[in-house]
Amino acid sequence: MVEIRSRTRSAPKEEEGRPIANPTLLKTGAQAEAARTAEAQRQESMRTKRNQPWRVWVPFSGEEEKRTVEFIMLDNSSADCPVFYEHALPDPNNDGKLTLHEVCIKEVEHCPLCEKYGDSYYVQMFSVITLLKKPIVTKDGRTISHSKRLLPVKFPQQEWFKNMSQDTFAGNMRGAHIVTIREESQRSPAIGTPQLCIDEDQKVVQYTEDQLVEGFSHPDILNQQGNVVRKANSDLYPYNYAELFPTPAAEDLRRRFGGVVPAGSSAEVKQAWSNGDSGTATIQRRAAPAADTSKDDYLGDLDDEIPF
Ligand SMILES: [Zn+2]
């Protein structure tokens, strides 16, 4: 009896003095649903981030040297490099910055992301090797002086790359050495303004295959568990764009980002079936690609140190 009374008396004191939990963290009903959606987006963004290589991005402030990046083209021709519409979305894992990228499906069907976040932009993807100004030493003692990346070129600059590929390099731009400098403006192109690198004899610089091998070949790269996360010499070749940028299903985008099924669409009919009583209809879902940790993982925790 004494024990029970004691417990009864002490309970209110404990609640007043030291809340057991912040009530805003314990969500129910609609709040819980919203929180679940946010968590699903966060997990999806982590998966996407693991799947996506780093992209070339040039800072827009500081001395010119800080606003300069050099890279080597890996694709043979700009004609090999895909163009498509893309969304840059707030990334819950990166303070809401627009670093979460999704393919826009508006060319083939109603795009839930256009509806929720506004229009997408037209982009062409290239594969490059960026030359780091300051080599990075990894935890296991390797020195990294370059990094294979995606180069996202938006519409106004695509003509420059096409001309460079077709005219300057006669359809084979692989190995071309590009220097890009960004203007001191947040609205300037995020990859800077590209120029061809010129040697002392006023000739454009293009690495030969031998020079590419000499500069950028590498053995299998293993993770801490000893699994190959990057096959030998994969830095020498362009990304597999079809693998990196599969066309998402509208239903998949709606599930992850929200949005309503457009009236009269086949998806609406399917949804009506799946909500009906028959219990037999199912919505076809594209299987999500398995998380692939092979790309750039070894640079992941070092990215803040990369000087651009
Ligand atoms: Zn869209």
For residues 248 and 124, give the distance between their C-alpha atoms in angstroms, rounded to a whole number.
Answer: 18
pLDDT digits (tens, 9 = 90+) for 19-67: 555 667 788 888 888 887 777 666 655 555 556 899 999 999 999 999 9
Compute the average pLDDT of residues 247-264.
82
Least confident of 164-168, 222-226, 272-276: 272-276
- pLDDT, tens only, 184-193: 999 999 999 9
**Cβ-based neighbours of 10, under 8 Å, separated by 6 or more:** none
d(CA 88, CA 97): 9
CA-only gyration radius of the chain, Å: 25
Helix or strand (DSSP H, E) at 3: helix 2-17
User: 100 and 89 in contact (C-beta within 8 Å)?
Assistant: yes
Ligand 1 centroid, distance to 296 Cα (angstroms)? 27
Q: What was the pLDDT predicted at 295?
A: 38
pLDDT more than 70, % of the chain: 74
Q: Which tokens hold the place of 26? A: 């314990």
Predicted confidence band of residue 210 (pLDDT cuts 50, 70, 90): very high
Q: Tell me the per-residue pLDDT of 274-304, one tens digit each, with 9 for 90 and over.
A: 544 333 333 333 344 444 333 333 333 333 3
Averaged over 162-185, what is the pLDDT? Answer: 97
**Distance from the alpha carbon of residue 108 to the mean position of ligand 1, in angstroms:** 10
Q: What is the mean pLDDT of the chain?
A: 80
Residue 271 has pLDDT above 70, yes or no: no
CA of 107 relative to ligand 1 center, distance in Å: 9
**Cα-to-centroid distance, 106 and ligand 1 (Å):** 5
Instruction: Please determine, for residue 114, whether its predicted confidence score (pLDDT) is greater than 50.
Output: yes
pLDDT for position 175: 98
What pLDDT is attached to residue 94?
Answer: 85
Residues 102/248, Cβ–Cβ less than 8 Å: yes
Most confident by average pLDDT, 4-8, 39-43, 133-137, 150-154:
150-154
- Measure Cα distances from 136 to 143, 221, 302, 306 in Å: 6, 16, 8, 7
64-83 pLDDT, tens per residue? 999 999 999 999 999 999 99
Between the CA of 246 and the centroid of ligand 1 the distance, in Å, is 14
Q: Retrieve residue 54's tokens.
A: 């780093």
- Ligand 1 centroid from CA 178, angstroms: 31
Distance CA 256, CA 102 (A): 11
Q: Looking at residue 35, what is its pLDDT?
A: 80
Cα 251 to ligand 1 centroid, rounded to whole Å: 13
